[in-house]
Amino acid sequence: MLLDILLGVLTLLPVPGGGERRRARKLTAAVEAGQVVSFEGSAIGDRPYCRPTIGFLSASRSTLAVAPTEEPGLNRRPVPLVHLELVRVRERAKTDPAAVRRSWQVAECRDRGEPVLFACSPAYMPLLTATLREQVATG
């Protein structure tokens, strides 16, 4: 009886990152259906679309944009994917700016030779890299 109660309580406790992974799966399905999705992230570098703060990345199979809020269209800055080259994905480094949360991963890219960092949760990194790779394959 006590074991049943304990197991019942344990199933109600949140699993760290569980909600984020569930949301990432839903967003992935939406992208596969041709929709644009938004998730928390940042773009850091010396390009017009970069912002030195944490904001949102909006991605689809063929587009990427940076915005201060999750609302579509509100001050979004499109990323010219045709000029972007994905170099590697890595864990956050101590030298990364504050716009990269400690638990995030970083996609190091080059935009016409200039370094650009895209950062987001590891749960959303596959969405970001799929957008970058899809453009390389079709662009």
Residues in the chain: 139
Confidence at residue 45, expressed as pLDDT on a 0 to 100 scale: 96
Domains of the chain: 37-138 (2.30.29.30)
Strand pairing class (37-45; 64-67): unpaired
Tokens at residue 92, please?
A: 């956050």
Q: What are the residue ranges in the chain where pLDDT is below 50?
A: 1-16, 137-138
Residue 2's pLDDT is what?
38
- pTM listed for this prediction: 0.79
Question: What pLDDT is stored for residue 18 in this prediction?
Answer: 59
What pLDDT does 21 receive? 77
CA-CA distance, 46 to 114, in Å (whole number)? 8
Alpha-carbon distance of 56 to 25, in angstroms, equals: 17
